[in-house]
Chain A
Amino acid sequence: MIIAENIIKRFDEQEVLKGVSMEFLPGKTNLIIGRSGAGKTVFLKILVGLMEPSSGKVWYDKVDFFSLNKKQAREIRLTVGMLFQGSALFDSMRVEENVRFPLDMFTNLSLAEKNKRVDFCLERVGLTGAHKKYPSEVSGGMQKRVGIARAIVMEPKYLFCDEPNSGLDPRTALLIDELIQDLTYENNMTTIINTHDMNSVMEIGDNIAYLHEGRLAWQGSKDQVLSSDNELLQGFIFASPFLQRLRAAALKTS
């Protein structure tokens, strides 16, 4: 479990996060949603430890992350996997080398053992014939899969995904969502996804947090989104007239 406690982040005079507190549960897909500029990315970077908050705490299973020394923080980091928005695959390495990188760096496994783990992860994300290809030789959707394979190769307890669907067609986006959700349930990971893809919200949102202007404006599950009377949330999710009509029809039916 990850708990964010009263996170405040300022850049010079500008306060981007204004005291955000949240709990992210294991075995659930926890979604952070919000408009562009709401502070989602900054919040995710603070949760993952890439940025320090101006004040507030982030707890990884009762451990205050920002009170740790470098060595202790590294121990926590070895239990974290992350899928970046642009996949962040190393261009000079082949797909298999990208996935194997954390194993090469942090384990004493033999090459055969590492390759076995890489094969397993690539197979799990549905990429069996891409081992020898470079990132530039595979599609955007495949790069995301490689990114997920690399994120899970160390069997993390926590998985972070920053805009996993950006730049993908709706069908591929759905496959990526399902893959992340399946992996979360299989491994009982605490998964935190930063997104503004409404399909993701309605498909895999076990626990959804809506950020608005640096504050937590709403929290609930995908089943509670439709019936919520939070105007900010409804204005965000059902932004277009078409979606508003759909919501009205859905509520009428239910």
Chain B
Amino acid sequence: MNFNLLYHIGRYVMLLRQAFSKPENWSMYWKETMRQMEDIGIGSLVIVALISIFMGAVAAVQFSYQLDGTLVPQYYIGYIVRDLAIIESAPTITCLVLAGKVGSNLAAELGTMRQKEHIDAMDLMGVNTAAYLILPKLIAALVMIPLLVTISAYVAIIGGYLSTVPTGALSGDDYERGLRAFFQPRNVTMMYVKAVVFAFILTTVPIFQGYYVKGGNIELGKASTNAVVFSNILILLADYLIAVLLTG
């Protein structure tokens, strides 16, 4: 078991090392990066907006219920929704969802390419497949996922507004006052640190699972499932470590 774990970690590191090589042709890599940006970024926009609006809305409604009848001022709802969105829900929940959507897609795409001999075909042509198939996806994810997380944070705050202000649970001024209260810029830094780290995890782990698939459809299904499960576990672990390191 321990040997297996070390073996897989070693292979993962070796694969990443191979991926960071000089491209054979910059324009081909650029074209592929643009395609991946569209897939990962534009393709995930709707799902990210949808979960974010509900995360913000549910957080606001729950806190409104919890604070009702207490001495804590109502405008705190805006403050809590903002910090919850920036620190936790926008980077972590969004990336957990993206690990499912983007991660399983990457593992399945590469696994299918392996099974259909596309990777062998590229290897044979002299293409550094680890670089051509990984680098554009990784760059696209590192650029697009922080942008998606930013959008998620804004949409969650809008969700909080929509679920409390029009329903009369809170006035618009109070919500805005909460959003402006106790703001700490380092929380935004933490959000982007998390976004970049999680983007790296949710791209490279599924790529590793897909790139080395052996066997048939059952193995491909397993690789896709493993990609999501391992990405989620590593994201949560990284979330904890970042929280300890950046708030300690």
Contact = CB atoms under 8 A, between A and B. Distances in A.
A234 interface: no
A77 B124 contact: yes
Contacts of B124: 48-50, 77, 80, 82
B126 A74 contact: yes
Interface residues of B, number: 14
Contact of A77 (B25, B28, B118, B125): B125
Nearest to A90: B118
B120 A86 contact: no
B170 interface: no
Given A105-B24, A106-B24, A88 B117 contact: yes
Nearest to A74: B126
A101 B27 CA distance: 12
B117 A106 contact: no
Nearest to B31: A104
A102 interface: yes
A106 B116 contact: no
Given A104-B25, A105-B25, A106-B25, A50 B125 contact: no
Contact of B120 (A84, A90, A101, A105): A84
A78 B25 CA distance: 14
A85 interface: yes
B80 to A, nearest CB: 44
Contacts of B24: 105-106
A85 B126 contact: no
Contacts of A84: 117, 120-121
A106 B118 contact: no
B123 A50 contact: yes
A154 B121 CA distance: 14
Contacts of B116: 86, 88
B61 interface: no
Main SS of the interface on chain B?
helix
A37 to B, nearest CB: 17
B151 interface: no
Nearest to B121: A88
B229 interface: no
Contacts of A86: 116-117
Contacts of A88: 116-118, 120-121
A48 B125 CA distance: 11
Nearest to A107: B25
A82 B25 contact: no
A74 B131 CA distance: 15
B120 A77 contact: no
B68 to A, nearest CB: 53
Nearest to B123: A50
B238 interface: no
Nearest to A75: B126
B143 interface: no
B193 to A, nearest CB: 33
Interface string A47-72: 01110000000000000000000000
B28 A104 contact: yes
B127 to A, nearest CB: 6
Interface string B109-124: 0000000111011011
Contacts of B25: 104-106
Nearest to A104: B28
B69 to A, nearest CB: 58
Contacts of A50: 120, 123-124
A102 B125 contact: yes
Given A104-B25, A106-B24, A82 B127 contact: no
- Across the A-B interface, the 5 shortest Cβ-Cβ residue pairs: A77-B126, A88-B121, A88-B117, A74-B126, A84-B117
Interface of B: 24-25, 27-28, 116-118, 120-121, 123-127
27 contacts: A48-B124, A49-B124, A50-B120, A74-B126, A77-B124, A77-B125, A77-B126, A78-B125, A82-B121, A84-B117, A84-B121, A85-B117, A86-B116, A88-B118, A88-B120, A88-B121, A90-B118, A101-B125, A102-B125, A104-B25, A104-B28, A105-B25, A105-B28, A105-B127, A106-B25, A106-B126, A154-B125
Given A73-B126, A88-B118, A105-B24, 17 more contacts: A48-B124, A50-B120, A50-B124, A77-B126, A78-B126, A80-B124, A84-B120, A88-B116, A88-B120, A88-B121, A102-B125, A104-B25, A105-B25, A105-B28, A105-B125, A106-B24, A106-B126
